[in-house]
Chains A and B, each alone.
Chain A
């Protein structure tokens, strides 16, 4: 690694750590176990204000409030699933980065595999058809001799 990349990665690390540490420093010291779970849960949740950021990484006001809410729920002894259910019941499935497996999401989860199978079927079909098109055409005696001469000539 050269100097620039090291500098860049340090800057990135600082930048990424910043949202979690800023303002949240006091509770971190309070109970590291709670804080660990908070980070774990909130990386799985979407911040609704800045939709492509996780709740863990977002500095939006709402995200801070929601982290506070999640922290309180953890302290009250709720399981990770209960915390997620709490947020889903208010904000909908959209808050989950990993959609639940249920009839409306079957296509979402299964779609890629269906496409893979379709693709394989098309490929196999195509290859079979193609192999049928290739006709074996054995060389006649004359052609063999000519080929040998040509090959030998090449070697010289």
Chain B
């Protein structure tokens, strides 16, 4: 009896590891940027080509940076949620129009609604690289000091919004 105990134990441990592995999402790579200052940039705005936007303008506020594009299918999925969120006026939401054509971006917002305070244009994806963007949409929570506090990879779901983003924003606003 005893001689089966060890292999059985090893088997159980292995099954445990595999079971945990099944529930992990390999797409969710922990970002090294959480807890670091948001990288600086200065790019034109979507609706006003002559005006620029840089994160320093948001200093002193807790704000969200949402990376989106008109070609991004999952962005449509999260867009109604962002629209609802913007209506509550909880915190400013800035868009980063990632690797998109200006006309397409403007048309897309006209069609699906514009929850953004403004959208910055990252036409060649350089800002995206500095923010470690690899799967649009991505959403960053940035605090008053300009430090990234949270990163959501993929669409914002109502659950993430209610359980993570809103409590975090409230906490940071204290």
Bound pair (A, B): yes
A interface residues (Cβ-Cβ under 8 A, vs B): 48-49, 51, 61-62, 65-66, 69, 88-94
B84 contacts A by Cβ under 8 Å: no
Partner of A62, one of B27, B30, B124, B134: B134
Q: For A66, list chain B residues within 8 Å (CB).
A: 129
Residue of B nearest to A88 (CB): B32
Is the beta-carbon distance between A61 and B99 smaller than 8 angstroms?
Answer: yes
- Min Cβ gap A69→B in Å is 6
Is the beta-carbon distance between A90 and B30 smaller than 8 angstroms?
Answer: no
Partner of B134, one of A48, A88, A89, A93: A48
Given contacts A48-B29, A61-B99, contact A90 B124 (CB under 8 A): no
Given contacts A48-B29, A62-B125, contact A90 B132 (CB under 8 A): yes
Is the beta-carbon distance between A91 and B32 smaller than 8 angstroms?
Answer: yes
Residue of B nearest to A91 (CB): B132
Is the beta-carbon distance between B99 and A91 smaller than 8 angstroms?
Answer: no
B130 contacts A by Cβ under 8 Å: yes
Q: For B131, list chain A residues within 8 Å (CB).
A: 90
Is the beta-carbon distance between B129 and A92 smaller than 8 angstroms?
Answer: no
Instruction: Give the number of A-B contacts (CB < 8 Å).
Output: 40
Complex Cα distance, B26 from A118, in Å, reads: 31
Residue of A nearest to B71 (CB): A61
With A66-B129, A92-B132 already in contact, 12 other A-B pairs whose C-beta atoms are closer than 8 Å: A49-B134, A49-B135, A51-B27, A65-B125, A69-B129, A89-B32, A90-B32, A90-B132, A91-B134, A92-B29, A92-B30, A92-B32
Pairs A-B, 3 closest by C-beta atoms: A48-B134, A90-B132, A92-B32
Q: For B54, list chain A residues within 8 Å (CB).
A: none
Which of A65, A69, A88, A90 has the largest count of B CB atoms less than 10 A from its CB?
A90
Complex Cα distance, B130 from A48, in Å, reads: 14
Q: For B26, list chain A residues within 8 Å (CB).
A: 51
Complex Cα distance, B135 from A51, in Å, reads: 12
Contact code string B130-144 (vs A, CB < 8 Å = 1, else 0): 111011000000000
Residue of B nearest to A90 (CB): B132
